[in-house]
Chain A
């Protein structure tokens, strides 16, 4: 969680994922990657070399590598935590394939910054680079050979993966990094609750990494005692659902 003001405006810290660490063996440096999408990230982007950044972390869980064939799926700035994961996977001797999508070519993470051993494939919504379309369109070609899938991107990307992708994914483990508005980052304010098959979880403390199949998506939600929302629920608002411009997507990564 990163402070993005010297005072209290903007008030809240921004949840940013760790983009890279160095050296891998005993990290003493870390890099953050974020998109400038609001006042907080604008302030952060204006910091200069030598400035001190107020960080609280690392918080929450991380991706767990349990196989030798890793398929990474990044939607836009969702590439942020996947580069560190790719580096870790390679260091542990895994094969790493990266599918990277963005609205347009200039918003794609520069491939020369990726580790050379990563096999990467691109998509853009306007067709300016790689295949034209969404990154999830690439998934079918690669999911079969993957031992494990890791994804970071907007909720809409996970919705596609959850709704159409489960046959393609063939019951494979799919770890996704969830993004929900966070207040504190350490489980105190209950602002970032997420409905899962095992009840409500806090994205900051119990996540941000969840198994795709554990999350209750649109249409799956119930109203049981502690697993679903009962009151003050407007008929068509507030559910995790497909919206390409997720309002909380100020975080770089998830």
Chain B
């Protein structure tokens, strides 16, 4: 049975995963804490926390609000900054077999390019995920992912500074995600990941004010799975590059739905927070499904629900 997938077939360096199960940015930190409680080497890839040029303290409390089968967060990209990441985290990653993809977020196109430039040649980094979809920051973030022109410009700027495979993470908070996907693809992205969180909010009725410190937050978890699935389905018909499905994946069945909708791989996010073994349970369940259904290569399932 072959579960390995190539996420950057047109990139010289490629991004070959032993299996299609990844962790989503912001849900396992830098992987180092997570590595203490699970065997991360069994995963397809780890995506690190969204990283900016300078360290960021993130948003005020409260940062989390639970919703029906979902989680609103306004963490606001709290992170140690790219230099500390290169100095302190990358050397640890270099000892791992599992590839680590660094999620980057900039305030300007120049910053995205600079982040990519600094990651070039850093041992332990196997790819870049360009975050043009964070809803929790006042500057940049999601704004770059809302216009096809801006999204393409960021993608091209990052590509010009790196030989690493470049994944662009898209926001669902747009009118036509397929149009953004196409623009990013034409600008040279090696793969797409979708979706980031859906903008939402909660109100504290006792205080009569927004509940979250950041006022609005990003909704994740099982609540958004149908939205994510539909967007993967749409985008897979618009572009030919690999798609990483993300949004509420909590079980092998969820992951298989994404793959059949056109995803080559999946990212597990919020489910990690609740169940640190979620990614492994997804992987094992996929293996059982393939065995039961006599599927020899996971590639045989990619997009099968898309073809009439």
Contacts and interface: CB of A to CB of B under 8 A. Distances in A.
Contacts of A183: 64, 71, 73, 273
B29 interface: yes
A241 to B, nearest CB: 10
Nearest to A199: B57
A189 B138 contact: no
A248 interface: yes
B60 A238 contact: yes
A9 B139 CA distance: 33
A242 to B, nearest CB: 13
Interface string A225-250: 11111111110011110010101100
B58 A200 contact: yes
Nearest to A221: B60
A12 B75 contact: no
A97 B70 CA distance: 43
Interface residues of A, number: 43
Given A8-B222, A56-B276, A238-B60, A188 B215 contact: no
Contacts of B274: 3, 8, 11-13, 184
A247 B211 CA distance: 9
A153 to B, nearest CB: 18
A189 B217 CA distance: 14
A83 B26 CA distance: 36
Interface in A20-61: 56
A165 interface: no
Contacts of B78: 190, 193, 200
Interface string B48-72: 0100001101111111111111110
B69 A9 contact: yes
A186 interface: yes
A88 interface: no
A233 B139 CA distance: 13
B66 A11 contact: yes
Given A11-B66, A183-B73, A230 B28 contact: no
Contact of A186 (B34, B57, B75): B34
A182 B75 CA distance: 11
B87 interface: no
Contact of B270 (A11, A181, A186, A187): A11
Interface of A: 3, 7-13, 56, 180-184, 186-194, 200, 205, 225-234, 237-240, 243, 245, 247-248
